A and B are shown apart, each in its own frame.
Chain A
Amino acid sequence: MPERLLVEAVNDALHVEMERDPSVMILGEDVGRLGGVFRATAGLQDRFGADRCVDTPLAEAGILGTAVGLCMAGWRPVCEMQYDAFSYPALDQLINHVGRYRWRTRGKMSFPLVIRMPYGGSVRAPELHDDSPETYYVHTPGVKVAIPSTPADAKGLIAAAIRDPDPVVVFEPKLIYRLARGEVPDGEHVVPLGKARIAREGSDVTIVAYGAMVGVAERAADALENEASCEVVDLRSLKPLDEESLLASVAKTGRAVVVQEAPRVCGFAAEVVAVLAEKAIFDLRAPVLRVTGYDVPYPYWQLEDAYVPSEARVVDAVRRVLAV
Chain B
Amino acid sequence: MSRVLPAEGGLRRVIGDGGLLPDGEIEGLGHEQLLALYRNLVLLRTYDERSVIYHRQGRIGTYAIYWNHEAMQAGSVFALEERDWIFPSYRESAIGLLRGMPPSTILSWWRGHPAGWWNPEDYGVASICVPIATHVPHAVGFAWGSRLKEEDRVAIAYFGDGATSEGAFHEGATFAGVLKAPAILFCNNNQWAISTPLSAQTAAPTLADKAIGYGMPGVRVDGGDVLAVYEATREAVERARAGDGPTLLEAVTYRAAPHATADDPSVYIDEERAREERENECVGRYERYLERLGVLTAAEAEEIRNDALAVMRDGIVEAEAEPPADVSLVFEHAYADPPASLATDLEELRRILSDV
Interface 9-residue window, one of A6-14, A69-77, A257-265, A282-290: A69-77
Q: How large is the interface on B (under 10, 10 to 19, 20 to 34, 35 or more residues)?
A: 35 or more
Q: Are B171 and A109 in contact (CB under 8 A)?
A: no
Q: Is B10 an interface residue (CB 8 A)?
A: no
Contacts of B340 in A (CB 8 A): 240, 243
| Chain A residue nearest to B144 in the complex (CB) | A66
Which residues in chain A, 159-208, are within 8 Å of chain B measured between CB atoms?
A: 164-166, 194
Partner of B138, one of A65, A92, A141: A65
Partner of B337, one of A69, A89, A166: A166
| Chain B residue nearest to A68 in the complex (CB) | B138
Partner of A61, one of B148, B149, B171: B171
Q: How far is the CB of A28 from chain B (nearest CB, A)?
A: 13
| Chain B residue nearest to A167 in the complex (CB) | B335
Q: Are B141 and A68 in contact (CB under 8 A)?
A: yes
Contacts of B148 in A (CB 8 A): 25, 51, 73, 75
Q: How far is the CB of A317 from chain B (nearest CB, A)?
A: 27
A74 CA / B141 CA spacing, docked (Å): 11
Partner of A69, one of B118, B145, B151: B145
Interface size on A, residues (CB 8 A): 46
Q: Is B261 an interface residue (CB 8 A)?
A: no
Q: Are B171 and A62 in contact (CB under 8 A)?
A: yes
Which residues in chain B, 328-356, are within 8 Å of chain A measured between CB atoms?
A: 332-337, 339-341
| Given the contacts A69-B142, A74-B145, A107 and B174 also touching, CB distance less than 8 Å | no
A142 CA / B333 CA spacing, docked (Å): 9
A99 CA / B339 CA spacing, docked (Å): 14
Q: Are B127 and A62 in contact (CB under 8 A)?
A: no
Q: Is B269 an interface residue (CB 8 A)?
A: no
Contacts of B142 in A (CB 8 A): 69-70, 72-73
A133 CA / B142 CA spacing, docked (Å): 28
| Given the contacts A104-B127, A240-B339, A72 and B134 also touching, CB distance less than 8 Å | no
Q: How far is the CB of B70 from chain A (nearest CB, A)?
A: 25
Q: Are B155 and A69 in contact (CB under 8 A)?
A: yes
Q: Are B137 and A73 in contact (CB under 8 A)?
A: no
| Given the contacts A66-B144, A69-B139, A166-B337, A96 and B131 also touching, CB distance less than 8 Å | yes
Q: Is A246 an interface residue (CB 8 A)?
A: no
A15 CA / B146 CA spacing, docked (Å): 23
Q: Are A141 and B118 in contact (CB under 8 A)?
A: no
A270 CA / B201 CA spacing, docked (Å): 42
A25 CA / B126 CA spacing, docked (Å): 22
Q: How far is the CB of A87 from chain B (nearest CB, A)?
A: 14
| Given the contacts A75-B148, A89-B167, A108-B121, A69 and B143 also touching, CB distance less than 8 Å | yes
| Chain B residue nearest to A237 in the complex (CB) | B339
Q: How far is the CB of A133 from chain B (nearest CB, A)?
A: 19
Interface centre among A99, A106, A241 (most CB of B within 10 A): A106
| Chain B residue nearest to A108 in the complex (CB) | B119
Contacts of A68 in B (CB 8 A): 137-138, 141
Q: How far is the CB of B99 from chain A (nearest CB, A)?
A: 15
Q: Is B26 an interface residue (CB 8 A)?
A: no
Q: Is A101 an interface residue (CB 8 A)?
A: yes
Contacts of A253 in B (CB 8 A): none
Which residues in chain B, 168-184, are within 8 Å of chain A measured between CB atoms?
A: 168, 170-172, 174-175, 178
A-B contact pairs, 19 of them (CB 8 A): A62-B174, A65-B141, A66-B141, A68-B138, A68-B141, A69-B138, A69-B143, A72-B138, A73-B146, A73-B148, A73-B153, A101-B127, A103-B333, A106-B118, A106-B333, A108-B120, A109-B121, A165-B337, A240-B339
Q: 13 new A-B pairs (CB below 8 Å) besides A73-B149, A105-B120?
A: A59-B174, A61-B137, A62-B172, A65-B171, A65-B172, A66-B172, A70-B141, A71-B141, A72-B141, A75-B145, A106-B117, A106-B118, A164-B337
B residues neighboring A (CB under 8 Å): 85, 114, 117-122, 126-127, 131, 134-146, 148-149, 151, 153, 155, 167-168, 170-172, 174-175, 178, 332-337, 339-341
